[in-house]
Chain A
């Protein structure tokens, strides 16, 4: 507890939900005001900027569908990451796991003989397995050799990105692509259907929402979920309770990596219809999903909404480039301001300001 003139600063252990929501909203408003300054400095009226952005993103079917489409990979990666974060495993590797899924799906789409009706399900299955394996490696390294997972998962991203680069420049380069570094186009049976009138590849969206619900149930209602939470909160207590640390962490990471990989399957089967250079397959969804999961405070269901928020931020950035003719760097500034405000607002949630009451100050019983 700190005394500031007539006020007292108190620490909160667990901020109530309305405080989290209110402070986050305030952070977004502050970010928008700061961004307004940037728009104004660039010679674009902030009022016009925000009305154009609002109309273009939330005001049209096309705009809304762009938000959802950009949110799909973020939901899948984000939900997966909430699980590994609950186990206190800092998985920075969703990007590589996503690409692993894209690679496996491409392999099935182009090179495996399978009846048309089974092709897409098999792509999702192969993608999930590839992502699971890619996430399992750092999990086992951590448990068996105490390798720091932040470093190992991050490095695994680079390895997978170079594997993708090698594949599209080397063995998988499409004969019909005239020498350019792309695989051939997927056959029609390997492409995901769109929601009519949009480019939302809805099967991936359904899988993402279902995954969020299932992971929420897993965490709240199952023995494995309980063990994951215990492992996360106190590894010593977990060991004392006879929880098998290796198995629990491995299972959590199999699901976490597998879900991120499903996002990759969705991107190649629903957006690109081919494998191409890694920076264009993913656009950093695996990294953005870290913030999605963090803002969702480890709740898989909340991750759906934070993913949509980032879909909105991305879509707003797109609009700024076209409608307002702002340079692409401004989009980065805009996204950065919102992120910066949200993350720094975290501090506010854990402190409460109130008027100092004289009696309590005198008895010294206030606060924690």
Chain B
């Protein structure tokens, strides 16, 4: 073999090599805070992981479940050692570990769910439910007979405060005197505490239930007593087909799909993620309404919702069923024309929190601490 042939060979190798780099295979690692069997947050992320994993042959995925917050860096180290070039960390508490790892591994792409720290190789993403909670609230307001709706809540953090207030604003839009009674259980997953809280709310006279907890417990306990409820995070229709009205469903796969395709085609690199922040709602189909995929409202509840009409300041006489889908379409429109937190809004202490004609900004939404009018119960950190 002469020198020329050798050089040609070298050139060929270089070309092929660089082509390979241009459309590189992606190994994505997912780090979860809970067990994948929790039927809530972690379960939903894992369902999404499997969907994108099956969809693309250039993508392989691995996951680690039940990772304590302080240990996230250890697991990132191990995933990088295994050859992961994209790593998703799916809990707010992973924020600093992910950020530190992003500094240590500048050639790995990181994405952190629900956080706010970004770097050239670290993006953030979130699929939020506040619009869906508002829609659920409209239905709950129409269905309550006692005027008391029970809400079993995990932790008093802005995310839940935003959701409960959006829910309550929906309730009050169709039922101006109804109340939303809140019980905090200080756990993301604790069926025993959720059961206890639901029973306490039943004793207070609540007859419709919504919740933020990663199990179908609230639905089951309410159904035993013949009370209706709204599912949270995963399809929960099967747990009480006669009593689950609707609920909130998440589709993390639309975010993972978009992100990974952009990494694969070179749009996202380890240099340009400092401003990549997904805040995806119903318009992007990251969040949707329903107790089951493809069932926005349980057919059993269509007639009662159509029968309940209100005199709406904007739309005149309208059934709650029609109002829900009118709002639904407003949210689904990419040029959203309505927001539940449209001013003027007063909190339950009477302070003006959103001035007339204004909407809350992203920063307002993710740091929200106040409680909407109609919320009853303790509210740690209330301004």
A interface residues, Cβ below 8 angstroms from B? 56, 60, 62, 66, 69, 165, 169-170, 173, 178-182, 185, 199, 267, 271-273, 276, 279-281, 283, 318-319, 321-323, 325, 327-329
Given A170-B380, A318-B74, A322-B78, A283-B116 contact (CB < 8 Å): no
B186, A318: Cβ atoms under 8 Å?
no
Nearest neighbor of B63 in chain A, beta-carbon distance? A325
Nearest neighbor of B368 in chain A, beta-carbon distance? A179
Kindly list chain A residues whose C-beta atoms are within 8 Å of the C-beta of B74.
66, 69, 199, 318
Stretch at the interface among B154-162, B279-287, B344-352: B154-162
Interface residues of B in 56-98 (CB under 8 A from A): 62-66, 68-71, 73-75, 77-79, 81-82, 92-93, 96
- Per the CB 8 Å criterion, the residue count for chain B at the interface is 35
- Any chain A CB within 8 A of the CB of B366? yes
Nearest neighbor of B363 in chain A, beta-carbon distance? A178
B366, A178: Cβ atoms under 8 Å?
yes
- Any chain A CB within 8 A of the CB of B296? no
Kindly list chain A residues whose C-beta atoms are within 8 Å of the C-beta of B93.
180, 182, 276, 280
- How far is A179 from B380 in the complex, measured between Cα atoms in Å? 10
Kindly list chain A residues whose C-beta atoms are within 8 Å of the C-beta of B81.
56, 60, 62
Nearest neighbor of B160 in chain A, beta-carbon distance? A179
Kindly list chain A residues whose C-beta atoms are within 8 Å of the C-beta of B107.
none
Nearest neighbor of A199 in chain B, beta-carbon distance? B73
Given A169-B156, A178-B158, A323-B78 contact (CB < 8 Å): yes
Report the 7 A-B pairs with minimum CB-CB distance, sorted nearest first: A179-B158, A328-B66, A322-B78, A280-B69, A321-B64, A272-B70, A179-B157
A181, B157: Cβ atoms under 8 Å?
yes
Residue of A280, A318, A322 with most chain B CB atoms under a 10 A cut-off = A322
- How far is A276 from B78 in the complex, measured between Cα atoms in Å? 24
Kindly list chain B residues whose C-beta atoms are within 8 Å of the C-beta of A180.
92-93, 157-158
Nearest neighbor of B76 in chain A, beta-carbon distance? A322
- How far is A60 from B74 in the complex, measured between Cα atoms in Å? 13
- How far is A69 from B366 in the complex, measured between Cα atoms in Å? 35
- How far is A199 from B77 in the complex, measured between Cα atoms in Å? 11
- How far is A325 from B380 in the complex, measured between Cα atoms in Å? 40
Kindly list chain B residues whose C-beta atoms are within 8 Å of the C-beta of A178.
116, 158, 366-367
| CB contact between A280 and one of B36, B68, B82, B96 (< 8 Å): that residue | B68
- Any chain A CB within 8 A of the CB of B369? yes
B59 to chain A, nearest CB (A): 16
- How far is A281 from B68 in the complex, measured between Cα atoms in Å? 9
Nearest neighbor of A268 in chain B, beta-carbon distance? B70
Nearest neighbor of B77 in chain A, beta-carbon distance? A62
- Any chain A CB within 8 A of the CB of B35? yes
- How far is A353 from B140 in the complex, measured between Cα atoms in Å? 73
Kindly list chain B residues whose C-beta atoms are within 8 Å of the C-beta of A170.
380
- How far is A201 from B71 in the complex, measured between Cα atoms in Å? 14
- Any chain A CB within 8 A of the CB of B294? no
In the complex, how many residue pairs between chain A and chain B have their CB atoms under 8 Å apart?
A: 80
Interface residues of B in 320-376 (CB under 8 A from A): 366-369
Kindly list chain B residues whose C-beta atoms are within 8 Å of the C-beta of A199.
73-74
Nearest neighbor of B155 in chain A, beta-carbon distance? A181
A322, B369: Cβ atoms under 8 Å?
no
A199 to chain B, nearest CB (A): 7
Kindly list chain B residues whose C-beta atoms are within 8 Å of the C-beta of A271.
70
- How far is A178 from B368 in the complex, measured between Cα atoms in Å? 9
- Any chain A CB within 8 A of the CB of B381? yes
A179, B65: Cβ atoms under 8 Å?
no
B27 to chain A, nearest CB (A): 12
Kindly list chain A residues whose C-beta atoms are within 8 Å of the C-beta of B63.
325
Kindly list chain B residues whose C-beta atoms are within 8 Å of the C-beta of A319.
78
- How far is A60 from B75 in the complex, measured between Cα atoms in Å? 15
Residue of A62, A165, A181 with most chain B CB atoms under a 10 A cut-off = A181
- How far is A273 from B93 in the complex, measured between Cα atoms in Å? 12
A175 to chain B, nearest CB (A): 10
Kindly list chain B residues whose C-beta atoms are within 8 Å of the C-beta of A283.
68, 70-71
A328, B35: Cβ atoms under 8 Å?
yes
Interface residues of B in 134-158 (CB under 8 A from A): 155-158
Nearest neighbor of A66 in chain B, beta-carbon distance? B74
Interface residues of B in 156-195 (CB under 8 A from A): 156-158, 161, 186
- How far is A181 from B369 in the complex, measured between Cα atoms in Å? 13
| CB contact between A179 and one of B64, B66, B69, B369 (< 8 Å): that residue | B369
Kindly list chain A residues whose C-beta atoms are within 8 Å of the C-beta of B157.
179-181
| CB contact between B82 and one of A60, A66, A185, A322 (< 8 Å): that residue | A322
A279 to chain B, nearest CB (A): 8
Given A56-B78, A62-B77, A179-B158, A276-B380 contact (CB < 8 Å): no
Kindly list chain B residues whose C-beta atoms are within 8 Å of the C-beta of A276.
69-70, 93
Can you list 30 A-B contacts with CB-CB less than 8 angstroms, sorted by A residue number?
A: A56-B81, A60-B81, A66-B74, A165-B186, A169-B381, A170-B380, A173-B381, A179-B158, A179-B367, A179-B369, A180-B92, A180-B93, A180-B157, A181-B155, A181-B157, A271-B70, A276-B70, A279-B68, A280-B69, A280-B70, A280-B93, A283-B68, A318-B71, A318-B78, A321-B64, A322-B64, A322-B82, A327-B35, A328-B65, A328-B66
Nearest neighbor of A281 in chain B, beta-carbon distance? B70
- How far is A328 from B64 in the complex, measured between Cα atoms in Å? 8
Interface residues of B in 2-57 (CB under 8 A from A): 35-36
- How far is A283 from B96 in the complex, measured between Cα atoms in Å? 18
Mask of B210-225 contacts with A, CB within 8 angstroms, 1/0: 0000000000000000
Kindly list chain B residues whose C-beta atoms are within 8 Å of the C-beta of A169.
155-156, 186, 380-381
A323, B367: Cβ atoms under 8 Å?
no
Kindly list chain B residues whose C-beta atoms are within 8 Å of the C-beta of A66.
74
**Given A283-B71, A318-B71, A319-B78, 19 other A-B contacts at CB below 8 A?**
A56-B81, A66-B74, A169-B380, A169-B381, A173-B381, A179-B158, A179-B161, A179-B367, A180-B92, A180-B93, A182-B93, A276-B69, A279-B68, A280-B68, A283-B68, A321-B65, A322-B82, A323-B78, A329-B35
